[in-house]
Structures are given as C-alpha cells and as structure tokens.
Structure 1
Amino acid sequence: MKWVLCVVATLVMWGQAMAADKLRIGVAGLTHTHVHWIFESEKRGDIEIVGIAESNRALAKRYSEQHGYSIDKVYPSLEAMLDATEPDAVTAFGSIREHLEVVQAAAPKGIHVMVEKPLAINLEHAQQMASLANKHDIHLLTNYETTWYPTNHKVKQVLTADAVGPMRKVIVRDGHKGPVKLGINEEFLDWLLDPAENGGGAIMDFGCYGVNLMTWLTNGQLPDSVTAITQQLQPGNHPLVDDEATIILTYPDKQAVIQASWNWPIGRKDMEVYGETGVLYADNRHTYRKRVAEGYDDFAQTTKTLSERPYPYDDPFSYFKAVIDGSITPEPYALSSLENNMLVMRILDAARLSASSGKQITLEKNQVQ
C-alpha cells in the first residue's frame, strides 16, 4: 500500500512539475489551417496555449468547438492578447505578410516567435524580422512539415557518411492538386491566392520546401544562380497567382531541381539525392530507400520504414520549447533556423525575379543578409 501511495505521489509531483514547466504560447491568427497542428500538439503536455489573437469571431468559435478551447482565450488583436496573457512565445498562423507584424509586436516584449513557412513574404520583410530578433535577443524559427520527416534526416545522415559519394543532383517535389480543388476553407483561400498576402502561388507555398532542404543539405551554401519558370494551369481557380513552378539552383559541383505544384494529382513531399555512386530517396515521411549503382543501369536497393524522430525532434512546438529553454542548441543552418531561412528568402526572391524576367539570376556571395 505504501508503495502504491509512493507511486501516486511521484506521479502527482511529476504532473505538477510538467504543468509548471509548460511553454506558454500565444497563437497569432487562425486563418492558416496548419493551426490545427498546434491544437493537437498541445495534448502532448509540454506547451499551453494561453491566448489566441483572431478578429474573425465566427472562425474562432468554429475552431473552439472543434478543438475544445474556451472562446474566452480569444482576443480581437495581437496586441490585446500579448498584453493580457504575457506568453513566453508566439506562433503565427495568419498570412505570410503578417509575419513581420507578429515579430514587430512580439520581439520588443522579449517574446519568441515561430512562423509557418516561408519566413516572410520577401527578403525585405525577412531582414526587418531578423533585425528585430537580433536586437531583442529572441528566437525566430520557421516551421516546415518536412523538417519533422525522419526520412529527410536519414538522407542527410547517409549522405554525410559518404555512402553514395559526393552530392551531384537533388530533386525535390512538393505540392497537391491545388487549394481550391482540395476544398480549403474560405478564410485560408482569401489570402493564399492573393499575391499581396502570400507573395505568389505554388512558387512560395511549395517552392520554399525544396529551397529550405537544399540550404540545409549544403550547410548554408548559396547557389551560384537561380532560374525559375512559373505557369498558371488553373486560371479559373488561381487567377492572380502561379500554380506551377520549377526552380533550378546551380552550384559549382551540383544542381538542384525544385518542382512546386498545385497540379499534382496526388499530394506529395519527396526528395531524391544523387551522389556519384548511388541515390538516396525520401519517398515520404517514413519510407526511405538507398540505391547503389552496379554496372550501367543495375543497382542494389535497400528500403526502410522509419519510426518517428525522438522527442523533441518530432514536433515543431516541442522543439520550439526545447530551443527556448536551452535543452537543445540548433546546428548551423538547421531547417528551422533563422540563418537557413534568410537564405531561403534570398533564393525565393531571385526565383520570382527570374520567373518574371525570363532570365537566370546570379547571386552575389558577399551580399549582406
């Protein structure tokens, strides 16, 4: 009986310590449907959503009924939410243009920020955000779904071990059939299809994934040139933005081809990394393959189904907490890092310029970020 009481007391104490140690997060906006992710992640027990800033009361009420949070947690503006709840951190789930406004409000208060991909609507906004983050000594992270894929990390691990020789070509494909065809809610579509709020269409929405991964795989190497082609294959659904984009990045000893599309019949997020002696495939979140060349066109293949990465590397908000409390220190040019995503924005700006001008854009290595 004493043993049982001891176990119960220990569990109670552990639960109290866990509650006291939770990261207090404010949610800035609900119009980005990735926001459902944080409501699910809150159930892990290491974060607590203390306030939500959303002016669309109907949307806030709809999501409160879906996720079970109190409507009393919702404030009409970001400033009101920050003043009332004083969170440790803020996660941005509004339009990409609004990311700068979130950092402008949070950074001077010493509040850390995580935004959904991409970091900003353009490099100019990104530079202002980075300046504020550095001035006020806050963490500013960018969340990509593919950051948490164990297959992508396996690819880099095997590549670093020189299992297929030096990297020569990378192909990254991301996208789906298109937001309208998917039936995405109106509040999301309102800004996703507006270039003033999103910066573009597929080139921004999905082009950023490949650029982020390539910047990580090369440990922050800037490409020599950026060439991009965009098309509009569904003008009725996406009249103001591109829905098909191909970005080519050249380096002295390798090339990357990034295919971003709202026209894939089947949704996908996959990557192929070609070395001199073999190929590494991240087919999806869990399926990893390695092919080692044998002769002209034959090969030996191994396939693995990978488990989720260990805590806190398996969830963006657990990771955010660990970075803030110092449990982990991100490696240089880590996928979520500010230095990685500043380069991403520079490359995406060049890609949009290339697509609009029809020219290859050369990047200057000594340009200040």
Structure 2
Amino acid sequence: MRLYSTLIILLLTLTQSFAQKKPLRVGVAGLVHSHVHQILNTIGKSNEIEIVGIAEPNRELAERFAKRYGYPMSMVYPTVTEMIAKTKPEAVTDYGRIVDHRKTVEACAPAGIHVMVEKPLATTYADAKAMAALARKHKVQLLTNYETTWYGSNHKAYAIADKDKAIGDIRKIVVHDGHEGPKEINVDPEFLAWLTDPVANGAGALFDFGCYGANLSTWLMHNQRPTSVMAVTQQIKPDIYPKVDDEATIILTYPKAQTIIQASWNWPFSRKDMAVYGRTGYVTTIDATRMRERLLGEKAEHELQATASDAPATNPFTYLTQLLRGETKPDELTSLENNLIVVEILDTARQSAKTGKAIQLN
C-alpha cells in the first residue's frame, strides 16, 4: 500500500511538472529567408516554442505572412532591438540576410538573449569572430542551423566512422549539396533578391551549399582546421545569376585526408548526401535516413537505415528548447566552434576562387 501511494505521489508530481513547463519564448529576426516557413508553421501547433515577436521592416511581407499563418500584426516590430525590448524573448531565431546576422547578435547578446541563425554563420570570417566574441562575453548560445544536422543518416555515419571505428582512419570525405537553382525552384522573391547578392549572401552556391560540406567535414575531423583550401567557381547560368557563382567545388586538405565539397545550383534534382571513405571501408548517406556501407572483408556494399533517434533532435526548435532548458547536451554541428571554422573555410574558398590558387592556412 505504501509503495502504491508513493507511486501515485510521484506520478502527480511529474504530471504537475510537465503541466508547468512553459514553451520557450522565441523572437523571429527577419522574414526574408525561406526557411522561416518552418518556424511560422509552428504557430498554434507547438508546445515547445512560442513566437512572441517578429522583427521585419518590410510591412507588406509581414502582412502577407500574417494572413497565411494567422499571427497578429501587433507582434511585428521594425527592428530587432525594439522587438526584444518589447517582448523579452529567451532566444531569437534569425531568418534575415546572412550579412545581417552580426547585427542580430549585437542586439541580442548584450541583453542575454540566445541566438540561432540559419547557415552559414556569417559572410566573412571577421564578422564571425566578432559575433563569437560577443556571445562568449555575454555567455549566450550562438548556434547555426543546418537542415542536415537533423538527418539521422549523418549521425549514424559519424558513429560508424568515429565511435565504432568500422571504416578505419578517414582518408576522404565527399559531400554533394544543392538543387536546380533558387530561381528554378521558385523560392520567395525576397529570398532570391539577397541570395543572389554577393554582399548579402557572401557568394552564390559557394556559400549557400558549400557551408554544408564544410560543416560536416569539420565535424568528422574533430574541429581540425584544414591545412589548405582550394576552390573553383563558375557561372554556368550568368543570364539568371549575373552577380554570383552557381557552381562551386572546394577541396580541403588535411595532414592525412581530403574533403571534396560539390556545391551547385545546377543539379538535376535536390540532393544532400555524403560519402566518408576510410582506410578499410566506407559509408555513404543518400538522404535523411537511407545509407550504404561496405567494410573490410565484404564483397559488396549493403544498405543501412537510420532513424530520427540517431539525430540529436528531429528539428531545430525541439533542440533549441531542450538545450536552453538543460535537457540535452550541445550538438557539435550547430556549435560556435565548428561554425567559426566553417566561415574561415568559406571566406578562404572565396579568395581562392578569385585568385585561382590554393591558400594555405596558418
């Protein structure tokens, strides 16, 4: 009887605890990145996050999305500074231009507000370092969100290569990312305008999709900076993308390995896949769950299946909430340490593409 009573009390305590847990208060900085639809789709559906304010100077855009997603225009403010002052969010997710990420961190970090930006972290290594300094000074999280972070296949591949040591020492990583082109897949016009601007986005496909490979390679190489970076970019469709590259290949050299990043707005279809070759085997990812593997002694490759549980969370908002609530450990792919190296790689790749030469990193 005493055990039964104890269990009832414990159950009631847990029920009250869950009931009292409030959603994470989140502000949205900018609506001009098409990934913003993911967080706007949570309105009225999520018990993990609550959007308390939106900073967007384009009133027409904010009204258009308000009609679509049902938020009141009273939630919309012209600047991030005003939005955080009025709504007091715990975290801000940035869906503005990449070049504006620094401004968001400058507004949020001194106020003790955590920030999650869309990939990549910044358009220049100088901006990335300044943002990191602010985040560290004010002891806030500065995270970078990639779609591929939530792919179970990538985390299963990492476990095979790193934890299980099943393929031996890594010798080569090949990453393919991209699609037919942002105009070709009909992204929002506000997104297309800055995505194809070399200042606002940093570059074209080189930054837009090269960042994925740099992020994954840095992760697999345990935050080791490459010894050299070589990049080749092209404008295959200058009539559509006159200001930026639409085709990019980056080669990263490490002391005992290489990474080849193929970023493109010219693929015949959308793809985000990776191959990791070791001394005794290899593992490849096809999409978020499907994989292939061949190990030492095997005559042919075989298929593998990853699950959502292989990733740290199923989506960035669940992860952000759990991280800030202390319910999960920091993920390396979103981390500031990783993404500082990513921006250094991209900035160096941009210089390499301009000069036609490989650049050695000190």
Report the TM-score when normalising by structure 1: 0.91
1:146 to 141, 145, 148: 148
Contact 1:224 1:251 in 2 (8 A): yes
Per the TM alignment, residue 347 of structure 1 is displaced from its structure 2 partner at its CA by 0.9
Residues 121 and 46 (structure 1), Cα distance of their counterparts in 2 relative to 1, 3 Å cut: same
Question: What's the secondary structure of 1:181's corresponding residue?
Answer: coil
Per the TM alignment, residue 278 of structure 1 is displaced from its structure 2 partner at its CA by 1.5
How do 1:71-150 and structure 2 match up within 5 A?
71-150=73-152
Aligned to 1:353: 351
Contact 2:34 2:191 in 1 (8 A): yes
Give the whole-Å Cα distance in 1 for the aligned partners of 2:42 and 2:341. Answer: 29
Aligned to 2:274: 271
Give the whole-Å Cα distance in 1 for the aligned partners of 2:360 and 2:42. Answer: 41
Residues 202 and 290 (structure 1), Cα distance of their counterparts in 2 relative to 1, 3 Å cut: same
Give the whole-Å Cα distance in 2 for the aligned partners of 1:309 and 1:11. Answer: 24
Tell me which amino acid in the other structure corresponds to 1:168: R
How do 1:164-313 and structure 2 match up within 5 A?
164-292=167-295, 294=297, 299-309=299-309, 313=313
Question: What's the secondary structure of 1:326's corresponding residue?
Answer: coil
Gaps of 5+ in 1: 1-5, 365-369
Aligned to 1:325: 325
Contact 1:169 1:255 in 2 (8 A): yes
Per the TM alignment, residue 292 of structure 1 is displaced from its structure 2 partner at its CA by 2.5
Tell me which amino acid in the other structure corresponds to 1:72: S
Per the TM alignment, residue 312 of structure 1 is displaced from its structure 2 partner at its CA by 5.8
2:30 is the counterpart of 1:32:
no
Runs of 4+ in 1 over 4 A off after TM superposition: 9-15
Deviations 1:76-134 (A, max 9, x none): 22111111101001010000000000001111110000000000011011011011111
Aligned to 1:3: none
Gaps of 5+ in 2: 1-8
Per the TM alignment, residue 187 of structure 1 is displaced from its structure 2 partner at its CA by 0.6
Per the TM alignment, residue 219 of structure 1 is displaced from its structure 2 partner at its CA by 0.7
Give the whole-Å Cα distance in 1 for the aligned partners of 2:155 and 2:41. Answer: 23
Give the whole-Å Cα distance in 2 for the aligned partners of 1:236 and 1:224. Answer: 36
Per the TM alignment, residue 329 of structure 1 is displaced from its structure 2 partner at its CA by 2.8
Contact 1:213 1:335 in 2 (8 A): yes
Aligned to 2:4: none
Aligned to 2:61: 59
Residues 41 and 307 (structure 1), Cα distance of their counterparts in 2 relative to 1, 3 Å cut: farther
Contact 1:312 1:318 in 2 (8 A): no
Question: What's the secondary structure of 1:157's corresponding residue?
Answer: helix
Give the whole-Å Cα distance in 1 for the aligned partners of 2:281 and 2:147. Answer: 26
Contact 2:233 2:247 in 1 (8 A): yes
Tell me which amino acid in the other structure corresponds to 1:154: K
Per the TM alignment, residue 39 of structure 1 is displaced from its structure 2 partner at its CA by 2.3
Per the TM alignment, residue 35 of structure 1 is displaced from its structure 2 partner at its CA by 0.6
Contact 2:229 2:348 in 1 (8 A): yes
Contact 1:293 1:300 in 2 (8 A): no
Percent identity over the alignment?
Answer: 50
RMSD: 1.9
Give the whole-Å Cα distance in 1 for the aligned partners of 2:18 and 2:66. Answer: 25
Tell me which amino acid in the other structure corresponds to 2:25: R
Give the whole-Å Cα distance in 2 for the aligned partners of 1:274 and 1:213. Answer: 14
Larger displacement relative to structure 2 (70-79 or 38-47) = 38-47
Per the TM alignment, residue 40 of structure 1 is displaced from its structure 2 partner at its CA by 3.0
Give the whole-Å Cα distance in 2 for the aligned partners of 1:84 and 1:111. Answer: 13
Contact 2:231 2:249 in 1 (8 A): yes
Tell me which amino acid in the other structure corresponds to 1:73: M
Per the TM alignment, residue 10 of structure 1 is displaced from its structure 2 partner at its CA by 8.9
Per the TM alignment, residue 337 of structure 1 is displaced from its structure 2 partner at its CA by 0.2
Contact 1:41 1:317 in 2 (8 A): no
Give the whole-Å Cα distance in 1 for the aligned partners of 2:278 and 2:228. Answer: 21
Aligned to 2:5: none
Per the TM alignment, residue 44 of structure 1 is displaced from its structure 2 partner at its CA by 3.3
Larger displacement relative to structure 2 (42-51 or 250-259) = 42-51
Question: What's the secondary structure of 1:355's corresponding residue?
Answer: helix
Aligned to 1:367: none
Per the TM alignment, residue 14 of structure 1 is displaced from its structure 2 partner at its CA by 6.2
Per the TM alignment, residue 11 of structure 1 is displaced from its structure 2 partner at its CA by 10
Report the TM-score when normalising by structure 2: 0.92
Per the TM alignment, residue 192 of structure 1 is displaced from its structure 2 partner at its CA by 0.5
Contact 1:281 1:289 in 2 (8 A): yes
